[in-house]
Structures are given as structure tokens and as C-alpha cells.
Structure 1
Amino acid sequence: MAKIRIGLLFGGRSGEHEVSINSAQAIAQALQTGENDHKYDVIPVYIQKNGVWIAGETADEVLESKTPLSPEDTNPYQLWQFPPELQEVEVWFPVLHGPNGEDGTIQGLLTLMQVPFVGSGVLGSAVGMDKIAMKMAFAQAGLPQVKYKAVERSQIWSNPCIFPKLCDDIEAGLGYPCFVKPANLGSSVGIAKARSHSELEAALDSAASYDRRIVIEAGVTARELECAVLGNDNPKASVVGEITFDSDFYDYETKYTEGRSQIHIPASLPEKVIKQIQEMAIQAFKTVDASGLARVDFFYVEETQAIYLNEINTLPGFTKFSMYPQLWQATGISFEQLVDKLIQLALEK
């Protein structure tokens, strides 16, 4: 049988460019291991930070070295001159975290190419990326969430008379501590914890510099749990994992600094709670019309046994040390089997 040519798409125009390269390297290795090596040929396609698409030896070198190219290394006029290797791709495996990667934009382009691709389509990706749209969809589905308020940049920057009133309303409705988040960024970028009026003002101003849509969530003392979902129309949920950390909250530095956080798989939980989380993870997956893969994050308050849905991530980190593949490893699906299954799901879809 002829091998299936997999277009491994990585890099991208987001702050998670380097994370994407790490994930893609792990997936490339898995596609060249064991049975997968007899089934697939990998065509690395690298998107620079300036948006230029590169294939061939240069893409291979970036993947191997895990070192991004400088935008000065290519001609910006090549922006929409796609490499000829793209014509050979039979299935796309996009590994692009964050904006312009998991928000529906690249999924729309791949859909127009009429080539199967791994992961959610335009709708699932877009709703899964925008925290406000996501929360509205979850609320409509009756999924429990912490209290939140959505605001726009114009409410923060455009009118100095409105801003103090906005902060007063947030303070009265959510209290302290609360978390201020840009609606459309990943990896905890731009997120701040506010414990006072002055910290809230500073956090809102900072978040508005990242995104025109901002969400503020009530703080809750809870365990942070995660569940992986795999499938299309009949998705399955993995065992449940837990993240613990030594900082005030799970920010970017904590997430990507070795030794600052720990993963516990499986999490030590009552069987009833595990089942509830798995059921809610699948419901969240279906609510946003996700497909292929997703990681769903939860808050669990032990004192009351309350479970709150935090968010869904339709293109989670994918190194061998990332939570998503580790959850499936603990469920009985190896890393190599997982990437194979995702490709088969793309063809099925």
C-alpha cells in the first residue's frame, strides 16, 4: 500500500509559535515510529511568524532544531506563494496553537483546499477559542460555570467616565479575587488575578492591549482538573488528570517553567466525580461542535463537590509531556496510536 502523505503544519502567527514547534516535533517522531512509519510520509510545512509558508529542507531544519526562523530570513512578498509540496498533501495535521491556528482561520483555509485535516472545523475551533462565545454556548447547554462578565475594549479605553463604573459593577457582581482574561489567547497569555480595585483596573487595561474582547471570572478555591476527548460523532473521554502548581495561579510562567507545576494522572477523585467530569467533557465537546480532539478543563470544589466547567481547548499542547497525550496514555492509547487515530478520524470526517 502507498503511504499517506501527511502535511504537518506548524509554527504560525501567534505567541505560541515555539510551543507549536515542540508539539510538531513530537508528532513527526510518532509518525515515523513503528507501524506509523509504514503508513505515513511526513511533509513538514512551517509557517513563519510573518505568515510565510515554507516546506522542504528549511522546514525540516526548523522541526529538528526547534529554533524559529527570523522573519528577515525570507521574502515577505512570498506570503501567499504556497510551496509546491502542498499539492502532495493528502491529510493535513495542523499543530498551530493560539490565534491564527486554532480559532477557525486555518481550518477555513484547509476546508477550501478540500483536503481532510485533523481536529475541529471552523465552528468548533472558533467557538472553542473565543472564551465569551464558548461560555455563552456552555450556558445555553446548561453546563455549570463560575460567574463571569464579558466586556469590550471600548468600555475600558474609550470613555474615562465609564471605566470606573465598569470596575464598580465587576467588583459588586463578582467580588475578589477575580481573573481577567483576553477572550482569544491561549497558554494563559495576558491573564491576571485581581485582588483589589486598583489591581482590577490594571488587569483590564493590560487585557485590552491583547484583545478587544475580555472576560472576567469570579475566583474560586478549587482543584484544577482536565479530561481529554477523542472522536467525531461518538467521542470518548479519557481518565481525569489534575494540575498542581507552586504559584498563585496557573499563569504562563508557571505553565512553561520546568518544576513549577505537576501533573497527576489519574487524579485522586471519587468515582462519581470522575464519571460526572467525563460526561460533562463529552457534552462540552458536542456543544461547540468539536471533532477529533479536545482537552476540557474543570474546577472541582471539594467542600461542596461542585464541578465547574472552565474551558475547552480544541488544539491542546501535544508533546509527550503534555496533558492531552498523557491522559490517553493512562487510558490505554499510546502516543503513536493517538496520532494514528487522529488521522483516521480526519479521513472519517
Structure 2
Amino acid sequence: MSKKTQVGLIFGGNSSEYEVSIMSGHNIYNAIDKRKFDVHPIWVTNDGYIANEQDSLKVLENPHYTVKNPHQVNNISNLNSLAELPEIDVFFPIVHGNLGEDGSLQGLFRILDKPFVGDDVLASAVTMDKEFTKILAQCAGVAVADWIAIKRFEYQEEDNWKQDYDKISAELGNDLFVKPSNQGSSVGVHHVTNKEEFDAALADAFRYDDKVLIEETIHGTEVETAVLGNDQPIVSGVGQIINAEGTFYSYENKYDDDSTTALQIPANLPDNIIKQVKANALKVYQVTECSGMARVDSTLRASDQKIILTEVNALPGFTNISMYPKLFEEAGIAYTDLITRLIEYAQQRYAHKKTLLHKIG
């Protein structure tokens, strides 16, 4: 009998999406093929402490379980706990948000010289930043919403025109979205239509990032598709997000039990729209140099049925209601098989990079 692959499942983290990461880790741990993989949960607590495997198992069973950080520092401490694990063959990070999907954790894996699931350092960094994603998407010929970026130093300048709702609305219209450039799960995102809402939204968005995007509102229906693979990725079908009238896909609508949002999979849309959504997703996946996986979110504009890119999520959720695994389940790839494929893609990419280094050496 062949030796099982040792998988280090990393979840939690010091971000606003901590709870989502715990839910994703719980699902992956329960669904992974135990005949092929031994799974070692690695919990990064909300204050940045890496817990031991026993405590990591406990929090997967009970998300409210806590452990005291003996070092009392707000960074990734106790790295030596990784050395207490068996030799890890591949890491499976499901740490959402900053430090988890922005290239930082991926850089650590590169330093450790280990394969890891999901996008590499560059793709993780550029897709985490919504403005860089927009710029690259435009280079690939994919439409995006008009926007203005405001940096923190500009926000702190009293007379900067980017803080003036009247001046901004003259450029982008009265109906706007304000969002941190580097966040996920709609954290810190606000829909605004007047000066009071705009001012409050800017203040809140800057709680999460040093750069905030102000975007024109695209009225229409939200559509999402999922991409899987490295050099020859496959694109799933398309899902549609049906929101209650007057709402957007907020953090609460994503994860609360009393959510007013429904997911329609597959989306009830014309074939030409489905094909365009998938084609756009593949273009953006490739221009941002994604590998492994990504979810690509867009809006089908009501006025002209044009598809407008919203964002690329390089480390999508794996909760019970997450669109990424549901889309591939509809495409015929079951949750457990999806996890296996992601691990195999990680190993293939690592082996390829090793081959390149060997040739250079």
C-alpha cells in the first residue's frame, strides 16, 4: 500500500474573514479523501498564534474554542509548532483575507520549499488588490466598472477632491460603491447614494485598508464562475446570485442563517451570456497568472446585458454555501474529488518549478 500524502491544512488567521476560514477548514477536513491523505490541521488564531494539532482539531469541532497565546504578540508566533508535525508533503491554505491570500503565506511556503494549494505569490497579490485586478482585466479586454482610488494620505488631506461626494459623483454618478481595495467577503463594502452615506463609508473602508476604491454602481444581476487548473484550466458553469430587492451581496447575506440571498446554480441565462461569462473568466484567470483555482465574479448589467468584472477571488470559500465547490459539483466534480484535484495541481506546479530550477542550475 502506497504511503499517504501528508497535508497541512492551514486555517484561521488574523483577518476579518477569520470565521469564514474556520468554516472552510471544517468542511475540507471532513470531506478530504482519508484513503489518500493524512490531514494535519494547523490553526492560526485570531491573534496570530499557531496552535498545536490537538487544539487545531478542537476548534474545527467547535468554532468557539479558544486557546491562550503564551507569547501575547500580534504576529505569527510559535512557528516551531510546525516542526512538531510529521513531514508535510503539501500545504492546503484556507486562510482568507490579508496575510492569507495576498501572497504573504504563499511566500512562506516558497521559502519552506513546499507545494501548496491555490495561486502562487504573484497571482495572490494582484488578485487581492481590486485595483490591480481591474487594470489587468482591462489589458485582457474585459470590461470593469469605472473607479477612482483614494490612498490614505489623500484621505487625510482636508482639501482633496476625492473626499468630496459632489465632485466624485460628477465623475462616476450619484450611485456608488465604496470598498477597501484589499479585502474579501464584502467586508467594509458600502452602497451609497448621498454625501452622508459616502462620508461614513469612506471612514469605515479605511478601517480595513490603506487604499479605497470608489466605483460606479453597475445595476444588474451578480454572476459567478469557477476556474480550476494550471496551464490548461477548466471553467465551471455559471451561478447567479439572487438578492432581495435593494440589497447587495454583503458579508451578512453571504454567511448569515437568515440571509435574503439565494444561489441559482446553474444560472438561468441565455447561452451567449453563459459563454461570455466563462470566456471573460478564463481571460482574467490567465492575465493575472492564476493557477490552481479562482472564483471570478461579475455583474450582468441590466441596461445592455454587458458583463462587467467585479473581482477575482484567488482563495474562494469552501463553506456549505460557497459558490466555488457548488459550481464544480454541478459540473460533475464532487467536493472530495475537487479537493484531491487541487492537491494534485499543487504538486504538479511544484514539480514543474523544481524542473526549471534544475535546468538553470
TM-score range, shorter chain: over 0.9
Rounded to whole Å, the distance in 2 between the matches of 1:107 and 1:256 is 26
Rounded to whole Å, the distance in 2 between the matches of 1:304 and 1:68 is 50
Q: Does 1:100 align with 2:99?
A: yes
- Once superposed, what is the RMSD of the aligned Cα atoms? 1.6
Conserved? CA contact 2:150–2:162, under 8 Å: no
Give the secondary structure class of the aligned counterpart of 1:217: strand
Rounded to whole Å, the distance in 2 between the matches of 1:65 and 1:257 is 18
Give the secondary structure class of the aligned counterpart of 2:298: strand
Deviation, 1:254, is 1.9
Give the secondary structure class of the aligned counterpart of 1:38: coil
Conserved? CA contact 2:155–2:163, under 8 Å: no
Q: Which residue of 2 aligns with 1:227?
A: 225
Please give the per-residue CA displacement for 1:14-71, whole angstroms capped at 9, x wherever unaligned: 011111011011101111xxxx22110001111111211123211111112122525x
Q: Does 1:162 align with 2:160?
A: yes
Rounded to whole Å, the distance in 2 between the matches of 1:320 and 1:333 is 16
Deviation, 1:260, is 1.8
Rounded to whole Å, the distance in 1 between the matches of 2:86 and 2:256 is 39
TM superposition score normalised by structure 1: 0.94
Give matches, 1:199-214, under 5 Å: 199-214=197-212
Q: Which residue of 2 aligns with 1:38?
A: 35
Q: Which amino acid aligns with 2:37?
A: Y
Q: Does 1:76 align with 2:72?
A: yes
Q: Which residue of 2 aligns with 1:142?
A: 141
Give the secondary structure class of the aligned counterpart of 1:193: strand
Q: Which deviates further from its counterpart, 120-129 or 242-251? A: 242-251
Give the secondary structure class of the aligned counterpart of 1:51: coil
- For residues 195 and 289 of structure 1, do their structure 2 counterparts lie closer, same or farther at Cα, with a shift above 3 Å needed? same
Q: Can you give the 5+ residue segments of structure 2 that lack an aligned partner in the other structure?
A: 350-361
Q: Which residue of 2 aligns with 1:58?
A: 55
Give the secondary structure class of the aligned counterpart of 2:34: helix
Conserved? CA contact 1:120–1:292, under 8 Å: yes
Conserved? CA contact 2:97–2:184, under 8 Å: yes
Rounded to whole Å, the distance in 2 between the matches of 1:222 and 1:331 is 25
Q: Which residue of 2 aligns with 1:124?
A: 123
Q: Which residue of 2 aligns with 1:296?
A: 296
Identity %: 39
Deviation, 1:133, is 1.3
Please give the per-residue CA displacement for 1:140-193, whole angstroms capped at 9, x wherever unaligned: 222101111111112222x21225764333111101210000111111111111
Q: Which amino acid aligns with 2:54?
A: E
Q: Can you give the 5+ residue segments of structure 1 that lack an aligned partner in the other structure?
A: none
Q: Which residue of 1 aligns with 2:64?
A: 67
Deviation, 1:137, is 1.3
Rounded to whole Å, the distance in 2 between the matches of 1:285 and 1:165 is 33
Please give the per-residue CA displacement for 1:107-152, whole angstroms capped at 9, x wherever unaligned: 0001111010000011000001011111111122221011111111
Q: Which deviates further from its counterpart, 56-65 or 225-234? A: 56-65
Q: Does 1:172 align with 2:170?
A: yes
Please give the per-residue CA displacement for 1:75-125, whole angstroms capped at 9, x wherever unaligned: 336814321234511100001011110010000001111010000011000
Candidates 44, 47, 62, aligned match of 2:44: 47
Rounded to whole Å, the distance in 2 between the matches of 1:114 and 1:164 is 44
TM superposition score normalised by structure 2: 0.91
Q: Which amino acid aligns with 2:28?
A: I
Q: Does 1:251 align with 2:247?
A: no
Conserved? CA contact 1:174–1:218, under 8 Å: yes
Give the secondary structure class of the aligned counterpart of 1:225: strand
- For residues 248 and 178 of structure 1, do their structure 2 counterparts lie closer, same or farther at Cα, with a shift above 3 Å needed? same
Q: Which deviates further from its counterpart, 95-104 or 57-66? A: 57-66
Rounded to whole Å, the distance in 1 between the matches of 2:6 and 2:112 is 15
Conserved? CA contact 1:120–1:314, under 8 Å: yes
Rounded to whole Å, the distance in 2 between the matches of 1:81 and 1:225 is 40
Rounded to whole Å, the distance in 2 between the matches of 1:137 and 1:85 is 42
Rounded to whole Å, the distance in 2 between the matches of 1:243 and 1:119 is 24
Q: Which residue of 1 aligns with 2:17?
A: 16
Deviation, 1:256, is 1.7
Q: Which amino acid aligns with 1:229?
A: V
Rounded to whole Å, the distance in 2 between the matches of 1:164 and 1:343 is 44
Conserved? CA contact 1:156–1:163, under 8 Å: no
Q: Does 1:29 align with 2:33?
A: no
Conserved? CA contact 1:92–1:116, under 8 Å: yes
Rounded to whole Å, the distance in 2 between the matches of 1:221 and 1:11 is 34
Deviation, 1:255, is 1.8
Conserved? CA contact 1:243–1:261, under 8 Å: yes
Deviation, 1:327, is 0.3
Conserved? CA contact 1:241–1:265, under 8 Å: yes
